[in-house]
């Protein structure tokens, strides 16, 4: 299999964003230390520096307090619908924690300089004026990086919700029964037993969110074979709701067929549709970012699910710049070969006398998504 194919499907090569590690705060601490060193080398007296630092700190905290007052003017009209009629809940949502107010009181005392204008310095009023001007002009908006970090850390982005919905509403239901379904269908198709090591649900995750409804039209080397036995469940008021997967034959360059349970990650269709609808205000860049976050979130969810271990294979990829008629089938075959080699390596490393149950557990734990490199040891 060509090396560029493995590169396109490797999570490292696909540049899947990982969670931010708080380096911005570490950088702030380093810069703070540098400032202290510079002030020490300059030889400024301690008291004037402390006084000026307190005034600046008070100005910043005053801005937070004034911003809360402005938010309160809006939230008072949503007291019942957003805060369940609780005045205290509304105040907590608008104003910062108590330690912010403590800093404001400590720093604000520096504005009352008894040596200037008999303790009636106008600088406190000027600080309020500047902060309100900043708020009125909308100059205190969060940067794109801050918004991204906030939504990711609080797990409130679109991709997070889609991944959890996909897992709870579908994968958590069908994956634990997948081996049983494959056993049942293999009685009708005995040739499936020769490929027991790839009895998994292969989930295609195109990062451009371009999904084919008919896989046979996407690649002529992918041919529908049969449906797996249905999983029937009464759910959310729907009687006897049916869940099922499709079994395909993937043909290689020698026309040799390989069975594979295959489907696209359907939530990506939602991302694609949102990018096409003006009402969603969801551009192409947001779609691409959310697709990567969807893959990362789904990978982490499934990786921590014991009941789904060893029953799935995530295949994230980017479409080639130039159209290739059999790119998808080659990609899937590459993953099937990777699974065979992983299974073979696990069996070689097993000590003598290992039970089949222990073998199953070891194979499942090794099935977490790995960088798809052909030169992996």
> Which runs of E-coded beta strand occur in the chain?
201-206, 222-227, 231-235, 238-243, 246-251, 257-264, 312-317
Region 80-101: what's the mean pLDDT? 78
* 364 within a domain of the structure (yes/no): no
Share above pLDDT 70 across residues of the chain, in percent, rounded to a whole number? 76
The region of weakest confidence among 75-89, 124-138, 146-160, 279-293 is 146-160
- What average pLDDT score do residues 36-58 get? 75
Examine residue 353 and state whether it is found in any structural domain, yes or no.
no
The confidence score (pLDDT) of residue 354 equals 43
Q: How far apart are CA 326 and CA 219, in angstroms?
A: 6
Say what the pLDDT of residue 155 is: 61
Contacts (Cβ under 8 Å, ≥6 apart) of 41: none
pLDDT, averaged across the chain: 77
**Predicted local distance difference test score (pLDDT) of residue 356:** 37
Who's near 173: CB < 8 A, 6+ residues apart? 231, 233, 243
* 92 and 218 fall within a common domain: no
**Residue 292 lies inside a defined structural domain of this protein:** yes
- The residue-averaged pLDDT of 55-70 equals 76
The CA distance from 212 to 326, in Å, is: 14
Which one of 96, 111, 126 terminates a domain?
111
Q: For residues 94 and 185, state if they share a domain.
A: no
**Does residue 134 belong to any structural domain of this protein?**
no
Q: Is residue 303 part of a domain?
A: yes
pLDDT at 200: 93
> Is 36 in the same domain as 183?
no
- Give me the mean pLDDT over the 115-123 stretch: 53
Whether 93 is covered by a domain: the verdict is yes
Confidence at residue 41, expressed as pLDDT on a 0 to 100 scale: 80
Same structural domain for residues 342 and 225? Answer: yes
Are 245 and 201 within 8 A, CB to CB? yes
pLDDT of residue 15: 72
Q: pLDDT band at residue 374, thresholds of 50, 70 and 90?
A: very low
pLDDT of residue 340 exceeding 60, the answer is yes
- Determine the average pLDDT of the residues in 136-162: 73
Pair (164, 233) in one structural domain: yes
CB 159 within 8 A of CB 290: yes
Is residue 119 included in any domain, yes or no? no
Of 39-43, 186-190, 284-288, which range is least confident? 39-43
Does residue 211 surpass a pLDDT of 70?
yes
Residue 370's pLDDT band (boundaries 50, 70, 90)?
very low
Longest dimension (CA), the chain: 97
Confidence of residue 59 (pLDDT cuts 50, 70, 90): confident
- Within this chain, do residues 190 and 91 fall inside the same structural domain, yes or no? no
Q: Hey, what are 180's tokens?
A: 């049983």
Q: How many domains does the chain have?
A: 2
Q: Which residue has the higher pLDDT, 347 or 126?
A: 126
DSSP per-residue letters across 120-180: --THHHHHHHHHHHHHHTTTTPPPHHHHHHHHHHTT-SHHHHHHHHHIIIIIHHHGGGHHH
pTM reported for the whole predicted model: 0.69
Residues 238, 170 share a domain: yes
Q: What is the mean pLDDT of residues 98-120?
A: 55
Q: For residue 200, give its domain range.
A: 158-320+327-347
182 and 38 housed in the same domain: no
* Residue 303: per-residue pLDDT: 93
Does residue 351 carry a pLDDT above 90? no
Across the range 359-363, mean pLDDT stands at: 39
User: 94-103, 122-131, 189-198 — which one is most confidently predicted on average?
Assistant: 189-198
pLDDT greater at residue 135 or residue 146: 135
Nearest to 267 by CA among 361, 147, 169: 169
| 86: in domain | yes
Q: Mind listing the pLDDT tens digit for each residue in 68-77?
A: 888 888 888 8
pLDDT band at 83 (very low <50, low <70, confident <90, very high): confident
CATH number at residue 296: 3.40.50.12100
């Amino acid at each position: 299999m060509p090396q560029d194919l493995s590169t396109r499907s490797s999570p490292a090569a696909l540049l899947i964003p990982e969670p931010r590690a708080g380096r911005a705060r570490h950088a702030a601490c380093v810069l703070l230390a540098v400032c202290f060193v510079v002030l020490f080398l300059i030889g400024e007296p301690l008291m004037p520096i402390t006084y000026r630092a307190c005034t600046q700190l008070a100005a910043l905290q005053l801005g937070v307090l004034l911003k809360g007052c402005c938010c309160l003017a809006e939230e008072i009209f949503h007291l019942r619908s957003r805060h369940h009629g609780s005045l205290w809940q509304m105040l907590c949502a608008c104003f910062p924690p108590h330690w912010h107010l403590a800093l404001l009181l400590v720093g604000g005392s520096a504005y009352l300089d008894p040596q200037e204008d008999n303790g009636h310095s106008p600088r406190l009023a000027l600080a309020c004026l500047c902060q309100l001007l900043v708020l009125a002009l909308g100059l205190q908006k969060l940067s794109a990086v801050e918004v991204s970090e906030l939504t990711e850390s609080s797990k409130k982005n679109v991709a997070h919700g889609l991944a959890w919905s996909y897992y709870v509403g579908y994968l958590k239901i069908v994956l634990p029964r997948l081996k049983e379904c494959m056993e049942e269908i293999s009685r009708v198709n005995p040739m499936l037993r020769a490929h027991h090591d790839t009895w998994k649900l292969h989930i295609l995750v195109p990062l451009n969110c371009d999904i084919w409804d008919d896989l046979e039209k996407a690649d002529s080397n992918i041919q529908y074979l049969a449906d797996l036995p249905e999983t029937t469940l009464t759910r959310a008021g729907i009687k006897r709701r049916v869940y099922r997967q499709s079994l395909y034959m993937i043909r290689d360059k020698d026309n040799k067929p390989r069975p594979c349970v295959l489907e696209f990650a359907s939530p990506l269709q939602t991302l694609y549709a949102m990018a096409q609808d003006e009402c969603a205000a969801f551009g192409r860049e947001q779609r691409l970012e959310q697709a990567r976050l969807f893959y990362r979130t789904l990978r982490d969810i499934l990786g921590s699910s014991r009941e789904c271990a060893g029953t799935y294979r995530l295949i994230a990829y980017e479409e080639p710049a130039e159209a290739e008629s059999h790119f998808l089938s080659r990609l899937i075959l590459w993953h099937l070969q990777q699974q065979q080699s992983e299974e073979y390596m696990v069996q070689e490393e097993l000590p003598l006398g290992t039970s089949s149950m222990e073998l199953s557990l070891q194979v499942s734990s090794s099935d977490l998504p790995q960088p798809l490199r052909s030169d992996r040891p």
